[in-house]
Structure 1
Amino acid sequence: MKRAFTISEIDSVARDLIPHFETKVIAFKAEMGVGKTTLIKALAKALGSEDVVTSPTFSIVNEYHMQGDKIFHFDFYRLKNEEEALNLGIEDYFQSNHWIFMEWFENIPNLLPENLDLVTLNLEKNEFRTLKLNNNLTITQKNAMEQQNF
């Protein structure tokens, strides 16, 4: 799935994106300030959460509730090493079968689950953003994409 949009369309983008996910583990790749947290906020709302969604930059993980499920929202930007993620119990989160939204997943490359969906955001001219969804990536595919700086 590919799509161009403005921030004012973010709720519609989130609603359109959800049916295209093939896993419940979603990695978000974008430069700082492009809108990862804003998209995650819209996704949580579209999934039915009424919780206030904020960036987990300092807490590392925020938990949001929805009918019959949860969303765990991670921001790995501040991690110094993968051991810090292990100390948080990241493996238990990955095995929880709840939604996992990850910002700065690149900081834990050796801990990522076998399969995940990748949402890549780019800021274009005139404040437009482009979104690309790659589904159900395996570790080999993730590594190849990282090497291409995708």
Structure 2
Amino acid sequence: MPQKFTVCNEEALSSVSNYLKSEIESTGRTIVLLNGNLGAGKTTLVKNYLNENYGVTDVDSPTFSLVNDYKINGKSIHHFDLYRLIDIVEIEDIGFWDYVDSENICFIEWPDKIADILPEDQVIKVDIDLSLNQCREFSIHY
């Protein structure tokens, strides 16, 4: 059963970030797939997650680099943006499977080209929809 959140401002996004952190810790799932249209709030969620849970404030979208790494307490959190990904070979060239197999947390924006080849038992899916009143509807499920 999906967990749903309605978020109308960035402060309220903390409830989604805190829930995600607890799910990652309790389930051991480390791959977070972020689905939503352009401007839905995928990068904003990652920024909030890193700031709320680890105090990281310098978070950018990895649109052109494909991946940004954040070192936290001896571990890494990887943030992928696959919007510009042309084919799977491109992501393999940056060592994608090493990131995924590292057991570090991986946030993946625009995962549709690779979602079917990821280990399902490691995945948390986050669907983000923009509602008519400019709030965001978050649905978190496995």
TM-score of the two chains, using structure 2 as the length reference:
0.87
SS in 2 for 1:2: strand
Match of 1:81 in 2: 87
Greater relative CO (CA pairs within 8 A, separation 6+):
2
**Match 1:14 to one of 13, 17, 24:** 17
How much has 1:110 moved relative to structure 2? 4.7
Equivalent-residue separation in structure 2 for 1:62 and 1:95 (angstroms): 16
The gaps in structure 2 that reach 5 residues or longer are none
Q: Which segments of structure 1 move beyond 4 Å, counting only runs of 4 or more?
A: none
**Match 1:131 to one of 126, 129, 138:** 138
2:78 touches 2:107 (CA, 8 Å); kept in 1? yes
Match of 1:2 in 2: 4
Tell me the amino acid that sits aligned with residue 47 of structure 2. K
Q: Is 1:61 the equivalent of 2:61?
A: no
Match of 1:45 in 2: 51
Tell me the amino acid that sits aligned with residue 7 of structure 1. N
2:47 touches 2:57 (CA, 8 Å); kept in 1? no
1:77 touches 1:107 (CA, 8 Å); kept in 2? no
Equivalent-residue separation in structure 1 for 2:115 and 2:54 (angstroms): 30
Count of equivalent residues: 135
Tell me the amino acid that sits aligned with residue 19 of structure 1. S
1:63 touches 1:70 (CA, 8 Å); kept in 2? yes
The gaps in structure 1 that reach 5 residues or longer are 136-150
How much has 1:66 moved relative to structure 2? 1.3
Match of 2:78 in 1: 72
How much has 1:51 moved relative to structure 2? 5.0
2:34 touches 2:108 (CA, 8 Å); kept in 1? yes
1:82 touches 1:111 (CA, 8 Å); kept in 2? no
**Match 1:95 to one of 92, 101, 104:** 101
